[in-house]
Structure 1
C-alpha cells in the first residue's frame, strides 16, 4: 500500500514531500483504501517504503493527527482514526442542483471573455495609455505615509477626499452640483448597480430595462431577484410609452440616456421628460448610468437626468474604469443625502467598497490635476481612433452594413444588412476580433442585428488592418 503511495510522489520540488505524503494518506483514508483502525507503518519503515526522509513522514503523520485523520497510540504506533465509514462515503452532486434559481439565471447571462489584445473589445479603455509610472509614485507616497485609517474599516461610504474630488469632477464635466455627503464610492459601476438594486427593491419588484440593454445591469437585477421588464429602444432612446403600455408599474427604471448601451443613441429631451414623468407617476426610482460620459465627440453635452429631476428620484452612476483601467474597480453613485447616509451603512454588509488605499491614490490623482490632463490626452487619442474606425468601416464594410455614428462613448455599433449577428460574431472571433453581437443584449426576440466595435483600445495603425480582417470574415457569410 505504502509503496503505491510512494510511486505517486512528485520529487521535482513542485510541492514539499511532507505535504504530498500527507495528501496521499488523507486521500487513501477518504477513499476507504485505508480503513478506520488500520495501523500505519512506523515512521522509519514508512520512510523506507516511500523512499523519503524520516522527518518527512513524521511531519506528515503529525499533520494527519492534528486534522483528525489518524491517532497516535504510543507504543502501539499510529492508526487511522475510527471514523464512521458512512461519513467517508462521497456522492457526486449535479452542478445544477447546487445553484439557486437566481444563480442559474446569473450563470445563463453570457458576457463573454474578451481578450485585451484583440481589436474592438467594447468598453475597454486604452490600457497602453494608463499613467503607470505616475500612479506608482502616488501609490508609493501613500504607502510611505502609512495612515492607519487607510488600512482599517473607516469611511465605508468612501474616502472623504475622493468624494470631494468626484464632486468637483462631475460639476465640471456634467454640471451636476451636489455635496460630498451625497456621493457613495463603489466597486465600479457594477458595484453601484448591485447595491442600489438590493437597497431599494424587494425580491420580485419590477424593473424597466432597455431592450437591447447592458448585460451587467441585467446581471445585477437578476442577482437581486428583480422582475425584468424589457422596454424597447429606438432612434430616440427608450420608448417610454411602450413601458407604460406594458401595464407594469416599475419600482426601478434603468437607463443609459447620454449614449444608450449598446446602440449608442441618445435619449431625446422629450423622452427624458416623459421618462421622469412616468417614474413620478409610478413612484419609481430612476437609475442613470453614465458609464463613459467623459467622452463626447460631437455636439454639446446633454443634460443629465439627475439635473432634470427636481423631486430627487434619480440616482446617478459613474465609473473611473472607462477612463483609467477597469481593474481599479472604482465607481460612484450620487444619491439624495438621506439615502446616501443609509447606503453608507448598508455598503459595509455588501463588500461593494473598493480598498481605501486605492481610493486615496485616485483622490490624489484627481485633486492634483492629473486626471483632467489624462482625459484631455484621451479625448485627442480617442477622437483619432474613432475617426479612423468610422473611415475604415465606411470604406470596407459598406456591402455588409452601416456604422452608427454615436456622438459619445468609446464604442460604435455596426448595423448589419441581412446577416445573423450571432453568426457574424463567431466568424470575426475566429479571425481574432472581439465584436459582440447586438442581439445578445436583447432579453426577448432580438430587434437589432449588428456588432459592437470598441475603438479606445486599438491604436490608429492597427484599425484598418483589423477592419480588413473583419470584412473578410463577413464576406465569407454572404
Structure 2
C-alpha cells in the first residue's frame, strides 16, 4: 500500500526566498524533484493533494496543480484517478539499484579482507595540467566592490532582449530541424556565412566556407591547432610577456618555446630576425598584444610576413579582442596582408558579448581546416548547434554591430576614467595608454610586489591581476599588473583606484 509523506516535510523543505527570480511553480517542482532524487520519497509514495500542499506552502492551489502536471509529463510522478499523485517507481529504479550496489564505507572488497590497491594517479598523469601557471580569478568576483578583472562582462551592457529574441527564433519548429540533429563534423551554415560576410570583412579578411571552422572559444581553437601541428621537434616563437593559456597549450603539446621580447609595438621582427628564423610557428597577438595591449604597426606586420616567407614558418594570429577598438574601425588583421597562407587566424565571437557562450573560430587553408574538423570530431564533434544558430541570427539582425558600438563607447569612457584615476592617485606607476580592448597594463615602482598587492587588495574588496604569470620567468617582473574594466561600473573606477593606492602605499619602503 502506498505510503503518504508527512505534511511537516513540505513546510520544512520549501523555502520561499523573495530575492529568488524563479517562479513559485518552478520552486515547488525543484523541491519535489530534489526530494525524489535524494531518496526522501520512496517509490510509489503518495503526495499530498494539491489543495493540502497549497495550504501547507501558502501558495495558490493552481500553482501546485501545474507543478504536479509538469512532473507527471516528465515522468517523476504518476497520476491515478481518484487516488492522487504518486512517485513513479520506474524513475527511481535505476537510481536506487545503483545506490544499493555501492559498498559501505570501510568495506573490504578483496578476498581475505585485504584493502584493494588503488591506482597511483600521480605517477600515471604524465604532465599534470593543474601544476601550470594560470591566471586566477575568484569565482565570486561579482561580490567584490571593485572588480578590475579582464574577460568578464557587465550585466548592464548585455543585450538581454536582443539575445532572447534570437534564442526564441532558434527554438521555432523550422529552426529546430536545423540544429537538433548531430552535425558530426559540420558547423551551422548560417553562422559560417555570417562570419564570412559580416565579421571577417571588418578585419580585411575574406575566406570561403571550407576555410572556416567554429570552436568552443579561442581556447579550443588554439588547442586544436597546437595538437595538430606541434610535437617534440617543433619550435614556437612566443611573445614575452604573453598569454599564459596559450603558453601552457604549446608546452602541453611538447613544443619548444622560443621567447620573443615585446616592446611598445609588440614584437620587433627586424631585431628578432635570427630568432624567428629558427621557428616553425610564431604565435602573436598583433591587434592588442596580451597583456600589454600594444598594437603592432603595419610596417612590423609586413616585416613579419616577409620573414615567414623567407624562413618558411607559419604565423598563428590570435585576434581575441579585435572588435574592441574605440575608433569604431578595427585594425586590419595580419591575416588580411597574407597572400601565401602563412597565417592561421584565430578569432572570438563571444569575448565582447558573453564569454560564457564560448564561441570562436579558425580561418586557414582548406586542407588545414579539414584536418581540424576531423580532430575536433574526436573531442566534441562540434560546438553546440543551438548556440551557433542563435548567434547567427544575432549577427544577421544587426544586434552584434549595435552591441559593438555601445561597448566601444562604454569602454572608452571607462578607459579614460581609469587612466585619469591612475594619474591622480597613483602617479608613481606607469601604464600603456589604452586605445582599445578592455584592460590596462600597469608597471608599479621597482619595490612593488604585484602578487602581494593583489592579495592585499582582495582583502580590501579590490580585484587586480598580478602580471608575473604572463612572463616566461615569473620572478623577474613582479611590479607589473593588469587592470580590466569590462566588468566594473564607470562610477566605481575612481574610488576603486583611490582605494588601491592606499594598499600600494602600505608596501612602500620607509
TM-score by length of 1: 0.79
Secondary structure of the 2:218 match is helix
Q: 1:394 touches 1:403 (CA, 8 Å); kept in 2?
A: no
**Among candidates 106, 117, 123, match of residue 97 of structure 1:** 123
2:46 paired with 1:16: no
Structure 1 residue 294 displacement after superposition: 0.7
Distance 1:64 1:471, change over 3 A: closer
Q: 2:237 touches 2:282 (CA, 8 Å); kept in 1?
A: yes
Distance 1:344 1:263, change over 3 A: same
Distance 1:338 1:398, change over 3 A: same
More moved, 468-477 vs 106-115:
106-115
**Among candidates 174, 181, 195, match of residue 152 of structure 1:** 181
Q: Report the Cα distance in structure 1 between the residues aligned to 2:334 and 2:231, rounded to whole angstroms.
A: 24
2:387 paired with 1:353: no
**Could you say which residue in structure 2 is the equivalent of 1:255?**
284
Q: Report the Cα distance in structure 1 between the residues aligned to 2:357 and 2:113, rounded to whole angstroms.
A: 45
**Could you say which residue in structure 1 is the equivalent of 2:134?**
110
Q: Report the Cα distance in structure 2 between the residues aligned to 1:352 and 1:203, rounded to whole angstroms.
A: 27
2:476 paired with 1:449: no
**Could you say which residue in structure 2 is the equivalent of 1:464?**
494
Distance 1:132 1:203, change over 3 A: farther
Q: Deviations along 1:289-347, whole A, 9 cap, x unmatched?
A: 11111111259743321122211110111112221111100011111233223322332
**Among candidates 111, 132, 139, match of residue 85 of structure 1:** 111
Q: Report the Cα distance in structure 1 between the residues aligned to 2:101 and 2:422, rounded to whole angstroms.
A: 64
Gaps of 5+ in 2: 1-11, 14-34, 43-88
Structure 1 residue 202 displacement after superposition: 2.6
Equivalent residue runs for 1:221-370 within 5 Å: 221-240=250-269, 243-246=272-275, 249-297=278-326, 301-351=330-380, 353-370=382-399
Q: Deviations along 1:271-293, whole A, 9 cap, x unmatched?
A: 22232233223322211111111
Q: Report the Cα distance in structure 1 between the residues aligned to 2:381 and 2:427, rounded to whole angstroms.
A: 44
**Among candidates 472, 475, 478, match of residue 505 of structure 2:** 475
Secondary structure of the 1:193 match is helix
Q: 1:186 touches 1:352 (CA, 8 Å); kept in 2?
A: no
Q: 1:258 touches 1:408 (CA, 8 Å); kept in 2?
A: no
**Could you say which residue in structure 2 is the equivalent of 1:380?**
409
Q: Report the Cα distance in structure 1 between the residues aligned to 2:190 and 2:241, rounded to whole angstroms.
A: 37
**Could you say which residue in structure 2 is the equivalent of 1:397?**
426
Q: Report the Cα distance in structure 2 between the residues aligned to 1:267 and 1:86, rounded to whole angstroms.
A: 70
Q: Report the Cα distance in structure 2 between the residues aligned to 1:153 and 1:462, rounded to whole angstroms.
A: 46
Q: 1:232 touches 1:242 (CA, 8 Å); kept in 2?
A: no
Q: Deviations along 1:41-87, whole A, 9 cap, x unmatched?
A: xxxxxxxxxxxxxx9xxx89x937985979xxxxxxxxxx9964269
**Could you say which residue in structure 2 is the equivalent of 1:139?**
167
Q: Report the Cα distance in structure 2 between the residues aligned to 1:437 and 1:252, rounded to whole angstroms.
A: 28
Equivalent residue runs for 1:193-232 within 5 Å: 193-232=222-261
Q: Deviations along 1:12-53, whole A, 9 cap, x unmatched?
A: 96931699xxxxxxxxxxxxxxxxxxxxxxxxxxxxxxxxxx
Q: Report the Cα distance in structure 2 between the residues aligned to 1:108 and 1:437, rounded to whole angstroms.
A: 16
Q: 1:386 touches 1:456 (CA, 8 Å); kept in 2?
A: no
Structure 1 residue 477 displacement after superposition: 0.8
Structure 1 residue 473 displacement after superposition: 0.9
- Aligned residues between the structures: 418
Q: Report the Cα distance in structure 2 between the residues aligned to 1:269 and 1:455, rounded to whole angstroms.
A: 27
Secondary structure of the 1:452 match is strand
Q: Report the Cα distance in structure 2 between the residues aligned to 1:82 and 1:116, rounded to whole angstroms.
A: 44
Q: Deviations along 1:407-464, whole A, 9 cap, x unmatched?
A: 2211111111121222222222222222112222011253573211111211111111
Distance 1:233 1:86, change over 3 A: farther
More moved, 210-219 vs 347-356:
347-356
Gaps of 5+ in 1: 1-10, 20-54, 71-80
Secondary structure of the 1:375 match is helix
**Could you say which residue in structure 1 is the equivalent of 2:199?**
170
**Could you say which residue in structure 1 is the equivalent of 2:156?**
128
Q: Report the Cα distance in structure 2 between the residues aligned to 1:162 and 1:151, rounded to whole angstroms.
A: 15
Q: 1:297 touches 1:408 (CA, 8 Å); kept in 2?
A: yes
Q: Report the Cα distance in structure 1 between the residues aligned to 2:119 and 2:102, rounded to whole angstroms.
A: 25
